[in-house]
Structure 1
Amino acid sequence: MQNPTYDSLYLFINGKWLNADDRDTAAVVNPATGNVLGRLPLATEADLALALDVARDSFDVWRHTVPAERARIMKRAAELMRERAEHIATQMTLEEGKPLTESRDEVLRAAEYFEWFAEEARRIHGRVVPANRPGVQQLVKRQAIGPVAAFTPWNFPAITPARKLSAALAAGCSVILKPGEESPATALALARCLDEAGLPKGVLQIVFGVPDKVSSQLIASPIIRKVAFTGSVPVGRLLSERAADGVKPITLELGGHGPVLVFADADIDAAATGGAANRFRGTGQICISSTRFLIQRPVYERFVAAFVAATEKLVIGDGMAAGTQVGPLANQRQLEKMELLVADAVAQGAKVLIGGKRIAGPGYFFQPTVLADVPMSARIMHEEPFGPIAVMRPFDALEDGLAEANRLPYGLSAYAFTRDARTAIDVGDGLEAGMIGINQYRIIATELPFGGMKESGHGSEGGTEGIEHYLTNKFISQI
């Protein structure tokens, strides 16, 4: 295994890379080893106040930059991300833990978002509306909404910031981004690509700090006109309240508890082996991950056996090691949560078919776990696990499966497997989720909307829908 170096960590404010100096710092830990990778400077109130002033001033510059120039800068940044993909992916694996193959893929997909929205910048169209009075011209213009405060978590430190930054920058907004403190180097690497591509100083700023203090100061400022957040439902509620105080729009991509409906006529082996790969990718720390496998009773035993067999073959280890498929959890909190969820389910009668325990040694490793016959009273049937645990339950009729799939307040992702066209249509119509995969687990594409419903949030990122939330409509009537 190679021994790569970890980048120095900074704040990025007003086009300057600011180190710790006399600021407080937080340790960034390699979750595979428990070793400290570096110390992250945390923004002071004065740092945030400066970032807000700069965001206001740079917005005036960026919104008047012609779309073709905005597109050119964003495309150049995407090129730099691709050129530096190996380095950025290495930073991601060191700080977040996912296998290097997954990190490489994420960096390349982040670059795709900047390319996609670079083109969208050139397609921000208004319209002329015929008037009911002679001599009157009526115009509808779509303009950048203003400076944006964006908050992203640690689990996808490249693609989640990319979705927000690419759409906001394409629209002409300036952005203050607060990434997750567990995986800061990845976001800083993206910022460096944008900076070196020619993004005007101050249009993008990266800050870190105590999340509650940073969010309260940024959102309360009248300079911020738009908020975007990806993270947990409780924090989403809190930020929604803060945004509401200033009547500011907020885009929310929150948690999920993805159901998978497997019907008796499905390709059972494909649904099971693909399901295991999907469930344990990213060590299960993925908001759209399949978590609750609901299997029609005639094929329940067969599906579960195939799923367990696929799980047994997974290679667990340091994400930097060749062949690793499942890395560590991101932190000690996640590790302890997995133990509590499994213990609670077992205490109430669930069966552990494989896994169920932390792995001895350094790092935050937990065995890929399959629970069967989980009672409805178990916590894991109600709470998003956000870790390497899969839940198996049988169902009978389509209506029963849909009822269970839609029972929770989450509505981010859902999946179904069937060879019957009528069933596929009914399931697609009946599932309450913003993103649905039929006979496949891969449901994310740059050109398509990413978002949920119910308590999984509102608004979409990606696709033509993604830029809408960073634009405002202006009606002009003139004689």
Structure 2
Amino acid sequence: MTMSTKAGASPEGAHRYVAPQLLIDGEWIGADARETSPVINPATGRAVGHVPHASAADLDRALAAAEREFPRWRKTSPRERGRILKRAADLLHDRGEEVARLATLEMGKPLAESRIELHVACEELEWFAEEARRTWGRVPPGRFGETRFSVHKQPVGPAAGFSAWNFPIGNACRKLGTALAAGCPMIYKPGEEAPAAALAVARCLVEAGVPAGVIAVVFGVPDTISRHLLASPIIRKISFTGSVPVGKHLVKLAADTMKRTTMELGGHAPVLVFDDADQQAVLDQSVQRKYRNSGQVCVSPTRFYVQDASYDAFCDGFAERAKRIRVGDGLDAETGMGPMVHARRRDAIEALVQDALDHGARLLAGGERLGNEGFFYAPTVLADVPDSARIMSEEPFGPVAVLNRFSGVDDAVEKANRLPYGLAAYAFSQNVATIHRLADDIEAGMLGINSFNISMPEVPFGGVKESGMGSEVGVEGLDAYLVTKTLSIT
């Protein structure tokens, strides 16, 4: 395994950083005289800045502003809300290189991946800008004499958004863009690991014309922030992207005041590879998607089940490709995979890999830390991993692929559905009957057949079982911020 930069080296431009701030009622607030936490460059392990934490008074101010502005923002025409979102998308696109570099500096992913993330985020803002005009209801034909019925869609009210650090640009656009399109103010708490990239999105929205108080961006201890916001009757909707345990905790808090919830939680995506699939093409796609963002992706393919006749060659091909990936600082153009986001994630992966080996798994590639600084871990491939190993039941959220074999369709479906998660799943086969069977029986909110491309702004993104409830993006994502009112007039 090779590193694309020498230990201790940092590509030119890595020092550029925008100091994180809070955004509350239109005011940008710095870290002076506040509790802060360091923002660590995961490629070096050194702090590049500090993120200010919001106090209880800050949160109350943000809540009051959201409550004050909701009546005005909901009355702003969908056309005008859409214009603001499109202007914000244009601003973000124009600043693309700067914002992408912030994401890479904070998150570690290769710059090419950050650029793709930014492009997709702009597309989502643009799509919601257009879809905001179509939040209409319906008028069914009457059946009670002169009584006329109509169904209306109205903004649910101020919302709270929480998201993880792995896609700081995309998550910010998705959370804030959906709420704003629907006519709802939002208090948004991104991950403290990548604050500046998320704040860049908020700055574009403010400069595009979002009124003061309609959006707020806060940071702090996640449990403290969430408890304070969810205890307030002002918040009527929450949207969360993150782990299953935290999602369950937030649902319990939301239940006390019957807040609407959208929960996009973790997964443990199975990949079923049948003998009749184009094995080389599947290998090329699988390795690229597995190690994207160092595997720190909720829909990352993780549990690879390969049919018996193809299994041994697939294992060899996967390991060979994984070993060719160049690991290093994401700002280096030669880098194919960056570091883990922080030491905790690297340590967690290391423990899962060792546990799998202790249970009899075979190590085909990786399985070690890389470099003398930063949080690098080699792209890892494990084969013949028993179900008793923790990694077969716990989402690894890192650069580890686990490979096992299956015999037939029944066996494949049983293995894919074994866990309580159901976010994404993938399958590769040219047999029409097999494809139809998988489409019916795989338990997942998103299923890719002969493709890992399962997301675009027009289609819902969400899971089933313990992977969450509700959907983001698509018309379903917008509808989650709208309440339905039936009107009867005689």
Same fold (TM over 0.5): yes
Out of 8, 12, 26, the residue aligned to residue 2 of structure 1 is 12
Local SS of the residue matching 1:122: helix
Match of 1:221 in 2: 232
Match of 1:301 in 2: 312
Out of 111, 115, 119, the residue aligned to residue 104 of structure 1 is 115
Match of 1:365 in 2: 376
Provide the rounded CA distance (Å) in 2 between the counterparts of 1:84 and 1:418. Answer: 41
Contact kept, 8 Å, 2:323 with 2:366, in 1: the verdict is no
Provide the rounded CA distance (Å) in 2 between the counterparts of 1:360 and 1:350. Answer: 25
Give the drift of 1:478. Answer: 2.0
Local SS of the residue matching 2:415: helix
Provide the rounded CA distance (Å) in 2 between the counterparts of 1:270 and 1:389. Answer: 20
Local SS of the residue matching 2:152: strand
State the AA in 2 paired with 1:29: I
TM-score by length of 1: 0.99
Provide the rounded CA distance (Å) in 2 between the counterparts of 1:478 and 1:387. Answer: 57
Match of 2:7 in 1: none
Match of 1:393 in 2: 404
Out of 135, 140, 160, the residue aligned to residue 124 of structure 1 is 135
Provide the rounded CA distance (Å) in 2 between the counterparts of 1:381 and 1:472. Answer: 40
Contact kept, 8 Å, 1:81 with 1:108, in 2: the verdict is no
State the AA in 1 paired with 2:352: L
Match of 2:82 in 1: 71
Provide the rounded CA distance (Å) in 1 between the counterparts of 2:406 and 2:416. Answer: 10
Match of 1:286 in 2: 297
Out of 180, 188, 193, the residue aligned to residue 191 of structure 2 is 180
2:426 is the counterpart of 1:452 = no
Contact kept, 8 Å, 1:281 with 1:326, in 2: the verdict is yes
| Bigger mean CA offset, 10-19 vs 442-451 | 442-451
Provide the rounded CA distance (Å) in 1 between the counterparts of 2:371 and 2:329. Answer: 14
State the AA in 2 paired with 1:260: V
Give the drift of 1:312. Answer: 1.5
Match of 1:380 in 2: 391
Local SS of the residue matching 2:168: coil
Q: Which runs of 4+ in 1 moved over 3 A?
A: none
Local SS of the residue matching 1:250: strand
State the AA in 1 paired with 2:161: A
State the AA in 1 paired with 2:315: V
Q: 1:161-213 CA deviation, whole Å, 9 max, x = no partner? A: 22222111111000000000000001100000000001111111000010000
Match of 2:180 in 1: 169
Provide the rounded CA distance (Å) in 2 between the counterparts of 1:447 and 1:315. Answer: 34
State the AA in 2 paired with 1:453: V
Match of 1:204 in 2: 215
State the AA in 2 paired with 1:142: K
| Bigger mean CA offset, 389-398 vs 422-431 | 422-431
Provide the rounded CA distance (Å) in 1 between the counterparts of 2:175 and 2:437. Answer: 33
Give the drift of 1:131. Answer: 2.8
Out of 407, 423, 445, the residue aligned to residue 412 of structure 1 is 423
Provide the rounded CA distance (Å) in 1 between the counterparts of 2:414 and 2:152. Answer: 44
Give the drift of 1:134. Answer: 2.7
State the AA in 2 paired with 1:349: G
TM-score by length of 2: 0.97
Q: 1:420-470 CA deviation, whole Å, 9 max, x = no partner? A: 111111112111001111111121111111000000001111112110100
Q: 1:252-288 CA deviation, whole Å, 9 max, x = no partner? A: 0000000000001110111112111110010000000
Give the drift of 1:137. Answer: 2.5
Provide the rounded CA distance (Å) in 2 between the counterparts of 1:402 and 1:128. Answer: 43
Local SS of the residue matching 1:142: strand
State the AA in 1 paired with 2:39: V
Provide the rounded CA distance (Å) in 1 between the counterparts of 2:428 and 2:398. Answer: 23
Contact kept, 8 Å, 1:272 with 1:304, in 2: the verdict is no
Out of 245, 257, 276, the residue aligned to residue 265 of structure 1 is 276
| Count of residues in Structure 1 that have an aligned counterpart in Structure 2 | 479
Match of 1:28 in 2: 39
Local SS of the residue matching 1:160: helix
Out of 451, 455, 472, the residue aligned to residue 461 of structure 1 is 472
State the AA in 1 paired with 2:186: V
Local SS of the residue matching 1:129: coil
Local SS of the residue matching 2:338: coil
Q: 1:399-425 CA deviation, whole Å, 9 max, x = no partner? A: 001101000000000000111111111
RMSD after superposition: 0.9
Unaligned runs of 5+ in 2: 1-10
2:54 is the counterpart of 1:60 = no
Out of 90, 112, 123, the residue aligned to residue 101 of structure 2 is 90
Local SS of the residue matching 1:127: coil
Contact kept, 8 Å, 2:53 with 2:219, in 1: the verdict is yes
